[in-house]
Amino acid sequence: MKYISTRGQAPELSFEEAMLTGLARDGGLYLPAEIPQLSHDEIAALAGQSYEEIAFRVMWPYVSGSFSEQEFRDIISRAYAGFDHDARAPLKQLNENHFLLELFHGPTLAFKDFAMQLIGQLFQVALKKRGERVTIVGATSGDTGSAAIEAFRGLDAVDVFILYPHGRVSEVQRRQMTTPADSNVHALAVDGDFDDCQAALKDMFNDFDFRDGVRLAGVNSINFARVLAQIVYYFSAAVSLGAPHRKVSFTVPTGNFGDIFAGYLAKRMGLPIDRLVVATNQNDILHRCLSGQGYHKGDTIPSISPSMDIQVSSNFERALYYAYDQDSRAIAALMDELKAGGFDVSQGALQALHESFDSGRVSEDETMAAIKSTLASSGELLCPHSAIGAKVAEDQRKSDVPMITLATAHPAKFPAAVEKASGVFPPLPPRMSDLYERSERVTRIANDLGTIQEHIKGHIPA
């Protein structure tokens, strides 16, 4: 399988090369040159298989050529061994036609662990074979950072720097990033918002002297391997509700568009998905865009679902690439317009997006009310992000198609908001119960590319 850039000007790469490269050298995002297909029978045969077996069958067509079959099976098995739940991604029924896909049973209690634990293993195997080391820089609104630190801490061949917006992540998220003592991980609290952190990261990739000098790698959903790992749970959830013999829909709390884009690829691979519903908080650029108002940046407003406080939604570029019939020139032009504030989406592209995606926006008050009402009606305590998904799903589900809402984080990562909404304090799992006593290590840093680059250069081996 070859990987191509959404902007058409970067070299085609193998899976392993694309994974270690991160952002394409033309500023675009890598995608497989062709989307692998699973037949009706192949999808039917996934029913009853372990999560690991489904992961192997879904991802193998994307990675074969870079890893041997046994190597990849072993990687998958190590990646999910540390999850707290045997099913890895269990489904719970909320009401007759609405299900919750719990994606928070991994080491850092968010869906990011599904991809990050896998990438950690993939990087280790690939770097060992090549005898190389890399510097990983990540931008986070809270969950990617903690998952990356957990996956890469203590590894010899990797230094990890995580940029997070100072004061704009929950205390649990911050402590997950600042308390690991391993000398190869570095938490940087940036005076800015998540979009500033992500913009700085992309600027670092586009500065080739810096990029090549530090051997920069990325584990945000810029990296196609992140998206790939997230395709798996769409298949596992759908087949457990009867796919491919019946259709299902998904509602996905959305920020950087990586998670729901994985669902889009699952659909393009042959999984009978009826609707993919984008659920946003008050930072609703995606909902506005899908409602025909163009893709125009606004100010990021802090919310009780901080991981979704995003305006520039990185993976939307991948969705646009398909909506614009894989016209990489058009995508490059739109991304230039975005630098100046935004762009309008053509009627044809909007229609193409609407073939798969719907959307909804949830206010702060509605989020609180959804946490409370879901607890009352089903006994499930949701994190604010998952509550946004559940609210939009309830508003938009059809009576004849099961709706699956992705529960993207454990409520204990956002205890203040959850307790305020529901009156119930969500405790951390026992393995993390001393999180508040551990000492923190963090560098506060200006939102300035040069300053961040100098800091990174000064903290990696010469």
Ligand X SMILES: N[C@@H](CCOP(=O)(O)O)C(=O)O
Residues that bind ligand X (CB under 6 A): 140-145, 220-221, 255-256, 258, 307, 314
CB of 320 to ligand X, least distance (A): 16
Neighbours of 67 (CB within 10 A): 19
CB of 142 to ligand X, least distance (A): 5
Answer for the pair 187, 455: CB distance below 8 angstroms, yes or no: no
Task: CB nearer to ligand PLP: give 46 or 368.
Answer: 368
Task: CB nearer to ligand PLP: give 15 or 111.
Answer: 111
Distance of CA 258 to the CA centre of its chain: 5
Task: CB nearer to ligand X: give 22 or 402.
Answer: 22
Nearest to 312, CA basis, from 1, 61, 29: 29
Task: CB nearer to ligand PLP: give 67 or 264.
Answer: 264
Rounded distance between C-alpha atoms, residue 256 and residue 290, angstroms: 15
DSSP-derived 3-state class of residue 262: helix
Look at residue 257 and give the partner it binds from ligand PLP, ligand X, none, a contact being a CB closer than 5 to 8 Å depending on partner kind. ligand PLP
CB of 23 to ligand PLP, least distance (A): 16
Rounded distance between C-alpha atoms, residue 121 and residue 34, angstroms: 25
Answer for the pair 356, 252: CB distance below 8 angstroms, yes or no: no
Look at residue 121 and give the partner it binds from ligand PLP, ligand X, none, a contact being a CB closer than 5 to 8 Å depending on partner kind. none
Nearest to 338, CA basis, from 205, 239, 195: 195
179 φ, ψ (degrees, to nearest 5): -95, -20
Rounded distance between C-alpha atoms, residue 283 and residue 184, angstroms: 34
CB of 342 to ligand PLP, least distance (A): 19
Task: CB nearer to ligand X: give 142 or 384.
Answer: 142
- Residues near ligand PLP (CB under 6 A) are 110, 143, 221, 253-259, 307-308, 385, 408-409
Select which of 92, 112, 202, 413 is catalytic: 112
Look at residue 140 and give the partner it binds from ligand PLP, ligand X, none, a contact being a CB closer than 5 to 8 Å depending on partner kind. ligand X
* H-state helical runs in 277-327: 285-288, 316-323
Look at residue 146 and give the partner it binds from ligand X, ligand PLP, none, a contact being a CB closer than 5 to 8 Å depending on partner kind. none
Cβ neighbors of 267 (< 8 A, separation 6 or more) are: 273, 276, 356
Rounded distance between C-alpha atoms, residue 462 and residue 460, angstroms: 6
Amino acid at 344: D
Look at residue 385 and give the partner it binds from ligand X, ligand PLP, none, a contact being a CB closer than 5 to 8 Å depending on partner kind. ligand PLP
Cβ neighbors of 67 (< 8 A, separation 6 or more) are: 16, 75, 122, 125
For CA atoms 12, 343, 35, 110, the dihedral sign is positive
Rounded distance between C-alpha atoms, residue 201 and residue 198, angstroms: 5
Rounded distance between C-alpha atoms, residue 12 and residue 15, angstroms: 10
CB of 301 to ligand PLP, least distance (A): 16
Neighbours of 355 (CB within 10 A): 9
CB of 96 to ligand PLP, least distance (A): 25
Look at residue 409 and give the partner it binds from ligand X, ligand PLP, none, a contact being a CB closer than 5 to 8 Å depending on partner kind. ligand PLP
Task: CB nearer to ligand PLP: give 24 or 110.
Answer: 110
CB of 259 to ligand PLP, least distance (A): 3
Look at residue 254 and give the partner it binds from ligand X, ligand PLP, none, a contact being a CB closer than 5 to 8 Å depending on partner kind. ligand PLP
CB of 385 to ligand PLP, least distance (A): 4
Task: CB nearer to ligand PLP: give 169 or 269.
Answer: 169
Task: CB nearer to ligand X: give 240 or 280.
Answer: 280
| DSSP labels, 82-143 | T-SSTTSS-EEEEETTEEEEE---STTSBTHHHHHHHHHHHHHHHHHHHT--EEEEEE-SSH
Look at residue 408 and give the partner it binds from ligand PLP, ligand X, none, a contact being a CB closer than 5 to 8 Å depending on partner kind. ligand PLP
* 339 is a catalytic site residue: no
Residue the block writes with tokens 């939009």 = 392
Catalytic residue numbers, as ranges: 112
